[in-house]
Structure 1
Amino acid sequence: MAAPRTRNNIFLGRLSLPERNIVTDALRTETVGGVLLLLAAVAALVWANIPALHSSYESVSHLRFGPAAVGLQLSVQHWVADGLLAIFFFVAGIELKRELVAGDLRDPRAAVLPVVAALCGMAVPAVVYALTNAAGGGSLVGWAVPTATDIAFALAVLAVIGTALPSALRAFLLTLAVVDDLFAILIIAVFFTSRLNFVALGGAVAGLAVFWVLLRRRVRGWYLYVPLALVIWGLMYNSGVHATIAGVAMGLMLRCHRHEGEEHSPGEHIEHLVRPLSAGLAVPLFALFSAGVAISGRALGDVFTKPETLGVVLGLVVGKAVGIFGGTWLTARFTRASLSDELAWPDVFAVATVAGIGFTVSLLIGELAFDSDPALMDEVKAAVLMGSLIAAVCAAALLKIRNAKYRALCADEERDEDLDGIPDVYEQDDPAYHLRMAEIHERKAAEHRKLAALKSAGNGTSAGTEGGTGG
């Protein structure tokens, strides 16, 4: 007797209903935040490039305030990059924890594909940057700049061009970005920590231990956690490790699985509260004080002539697309995963191209990598903007080709004929659903028969009247 065939894992298949709801809620907030991010980036460019306003942009960016006694008298730009971005990375830590315990990354077999795709999507841009600079005699310190993906900016671009991506493709992009954020955090922690204050670092670790104990004992009260988080952040900043690492660490400590009787886990609840602050305030303000670079014809020309800036552009536009698509295809080719019948490999390539929009974290790494050369730092920032813009235009063109197909898939996902709040596609195996649908169809048929009878009676009366008139 022949052995039964094992069904291949479906890559980019339909999500489970709980996962779909979580992804939809997260993407809705990120999309709104991404639109604000776009507006903030445009405002920064306008503010920095109007001669009458340029000096005020520099003055506000470098205005210093804060308690000098504890080493926290920082410029506005540093408060935003090191302080507010910690909120962004706190949310990223919660997202990663949720993916590890309840999302695509909880099953090692399912996690292989997005992890490999994200790793390839970071390694190939770094290699492209390194080769470009090795050939042109440029600096290799910026190798990490084109490795990051900005999910908020990417989703904002999707919202602007009106592409109705199916939830599976959006979830793939979100998972890629979560894994991407994890490795970007590791890059920042390992490669951009030049000095260490072990006393401050020990204090930060002790604070994180207290934070963990309070969570495990289910102690409630924001008035305890917020001051403790600020102390941990301040100690981490003074330790020499980038302060955003504190946000990630605290996000990873939150419980993201539900106990019996809980509607939401603590991680889900806090993420729901903090995500709007991250997407609507922290990231747009970072864009406002980081994207303000002087743009001129000469500056744009330098982007494509200097090896450092050309490496960033090629890394984002070419390296990201080739790395993510290649990693995905190779993983599917040499494992039992297969692409969903409703999607095609060009869809995967289009999403890989969207991932070339590397704004927030790329700008942050650019500031860290070229901190000793402000002029080159601004040029690298311009390259990040240019590379992200080119990736967005290419992705928009690719996605528009399949937009009609995406709209049909989204319509199927959203259809709810029995009006019970659950898409019909998730109820097809439920006998109660088929009973409800039979009742609905019978009611509609009865209404049609009634209308037909009324119409027939009306026609008969009209005919009788005409006959009587004619007699």
Structure 2
Amino acid sequence: MTTRTPTDRLFRRPTWTETQVVAKALRTETVGGAVLLLAAVVALVWANSPWRESYSTLRDTHVGYEPWHLDLSLGHWAADGLLAIFFFVAGLEVKREFLVGDLRTPAKAAVPVVAAACGVAVPALVFAGTVLVAGDSAGLRGWAIPTATDIAFALAVLAVIGSHLPSGLRSFLLTLAVVDDLIAITIIAIFYTDSLSVLPLVLALVPLAAFAFLVQRRIVVWWLLVPLAFVTWALVHASGIHATVAGVLLGLAVPVRPREHVPAVSTLPAETDVAERLEHRLRPLSAGFAVPVFAFFASGVTIVGGGFGDALRDPVAIGIVLALVVGKLVGVLGSTFAMARFTRAELDDDLAWSDVVGLSLLTGIGFTVSLLVGELAFGAGSDRDAHAKLAVIVASVLAALLASVVLRRRDAVYRRIRHEDSVDADADGIPDAFQDPRPTSP
């Protein structure tokens, strides 16, 4: 009779180091999610108030310099500029997870990677099927709208309804979101680039290389890095590729491992984790300012005067709701169950399949990136873009409510057995549960 090892467990408790990283991200993203929700509510109320014209005027106010293709409205600055900070942090997370995090081990990476991929593919298929059945082939351009999970929004909901849920479940959600972001970035770069200007893209490699040269040598000074990052962003924007891709490339250039030796000009010691240092500084800016400001300008959909009724009749809106609420559930839950069914893996002893159902519903919260893709697909400010935005908001709220029903009940169960995760720490400050292997059943 064989004995299953901890590596055969799905959603097992992460390492102590990984748990600390997840805890820091959870604290920041949870607060950011609350600010995000507030910004979205304010925008919705304003856009449907008697002063709705002032909201449109603010969003469409142009600021910038035309010769650099930077004469943009405030709404575009938020989508193209501020979200680059969000994607920079995403780039840092992706590189960390695949080089030093749990995703560096194929056995650990398999489940969240497969779940994220299926959580992208199934909603896209559900959306495509819905609009094709309705005979609306033009709506297919929005196939990628329901593919992304908004980690800030999802973690904010999880923090409110699931404060006692096992750490493995939270870690899985964060890891899945990292892979989800990587897929979303790739989709934006490949499928939503209408025209490409090669020269600015080639020129962008120069400041990008200079940025990489500095950070790889631990020369981390804002007055050098920020101008290089801005020039890289501006050139990528001028090339026709969505400028947020520049944020990812800059994030991937940052080292995540210590070096044995560093040049004398370095501003940081060799053992410093540069990625963690930059993430620590920029994550609050991303979660607390950049994403909420984007949400404020992207969520102001006018539904008074028939806008809501028009959206209900739009196959694109119907497809988005079905894809986020049903497609995400089927994709994430189905792939996870298949991994357990056709491999040696099985659920960790801490968890039940109803937890996975709740988590899968939670991934249907597709706010920030979904709103961005909607603008890229149908044009910011168009009627169809407004319908898509309204559908994203409705679907995200519905997914959050359904997940709350499931996870709230499970959280009550875990509250009663909280003593398993609240053991006393030893003198080294690390809880015993993260040091001693848990007994496993044959």
TM-score, normalising length: structure 1: 0.86
2:354 maps to 1:346: yes
Letter of the structure 2 residue corresponding to residue 354 of structure 1: L
Letter of the structure 1 residue corresponding to residue 397 of structure 2: L
Bigger CA radius of gyration = 1
Give 1:428 shift.
Answer: 4.8
User: The residue matched to 2:296 in structure 1 has which SS?
Assistant: helix
For 1:46 and 1:211, locate their aligned partners in 2 and report how far apart those are by CA, in whole Å.
42
Q: Is the 8 A contact 2:161 2:411 kept in 1?
A: no
Letter of the structure 2 residue corresponding to residue 207 of structure 1: P
Aligned position for 1:26: 25
Question: What is the 5 A alignment of 1:62-101?
Answer: 62-101=60-99
Question: What is the 5 A alignment of 1:291-330?
Answer: 291-296=299-304, 298-330=306-338
Aligned position for 2:167: 167
Give 1:253 shift.
Answer: 1.3
CA shift in 2, pair 1:319/1:381, >3 Å:
same
User: The residue matched to 2:9 in structure 1 has which SS?
Assistant: strand
Percentage identity across paired residues of the two chains: 53
Aligned position for 1:153: 153
Residue of 313, 325, 343 corresponding to 1:335: 343
Q: Is the 8 A contact 2:48 2:303 kept in 1?
A: yes
2:191 maps to 1:183: no
Q: Is the 8 A contact 1:316 1:358 kept in 2?
A: yes
2:408 maps to 1:400: yes
For 1:41 and 1:410, locate their aligned partners in 2 and report how far apart those are by CA, in whole Å.
35
After the TM superposition, list the runs of 4 or more consecutive aligned residues in structure 1 that deviate by more than 4 angstroms: 259-264, 408-411, 417-420
Give 1:298 shift.
Answer: 3.9
Cα offsets for 1:106-134 (capped at 9, x unmatched): 01121111111001001110010011001
Letter of the structure 1 residue corresponding to residue 430 of structure 2: I
Give 1:305 shift.
Answer: 2.7
CA shift in 2, pair 1:218/1:309, >3 Å:
same
For 1:147 and 1:95, locate their aligned partners in 2 and report how far apart those are by CA, in whole Å.
19
Q: Is the 8 A contact 1:38 1:156 kept in 2?
A: no
User: The residue matched to 2:376 in structure 1 has which SS?
Assistant: helix
Q: Is the 8 A contact 1:24 1:167 kept in 2?
A: no
Aligned position for 1:280: 288
For 1:413 and 1:158, locate their aligned partners in 2 and report how far apart those are by CA, in whole Å.
18
For 2:399 and 2:270, locate their aligned partners in 1 and report how far apart those are by CA, in whole Å.
42
Question: What is the 5 A alignment of 1:183-332?
Answer: 183-259=183-259, 264-296=272-304, 298-332=306-340
Cα offsets for 1:412-447 (capped at 9, x unmatched): 323326576332323557xxxxxxxxxxxxxxxxxx
2:397 maps to 1:382: no
Unpaired segments ≥5 residues, structure 2: 261-268, 438-442
User: The residue matched to 1:241 in structure 2 has which SS?
Assistant: coil
For 2:311 and 2:403, locate their aligned partners in 1 and report how far apart those are by CA, in whole Å.
21
Comparing 352-361 with 133-142, greater Cα deviation is found at 133-142
Give 1:333 shift.
Answer: 1.5
Q: Is the 8 A contact 1:90 1:249 kept in 2?
A: yes
Give 1:299 shift.
Answer: 3.2
Letter of the structure 1 residue corresponding to residue 83 of structure 2: L
CA shift in 2, pair 1:407/1:263, >3 Å:
farther
Comparing 409-418 with 276-285, greater Cα deviation is found at 409-418
For 1:323 and 1:50, locate their aligned partners in 2 and report how far apart those are by CA, in whole Å.
38
User: The residue matched to 2:303 in structure 1 has which SS?
Assistant: coil
Cα offsets for 1:155-209 (capped at 9, x unmatched): 1122333543221111111111110000000000000001111110111122222
Question: What is the 5 A alignment of 1:27-46?
Answer: 27-46=26-45
More helix by share: 1
Q: Is the 8 A contact 1:163 1:400 kept in 2?
A: no
Q: Is the 8 A contact 1:146 1:362 kept in 2?
A: yes
Q: Is the 8 A contact 2:218 2:270 kept in 1?
A: no
2:13 maps to 1:14: yes
2:365 maps to 1:357: yes
Unpaired segments ≥5 residues, structure 1: 430-471
Q: How many pairs does the alignment contain? A: 426
| Aligned residues: CA RMSD | 1.9
For 1:372 and 1:428, locate their aligned partners in 2 and report how far apart those are by CA, in whole Å.
53
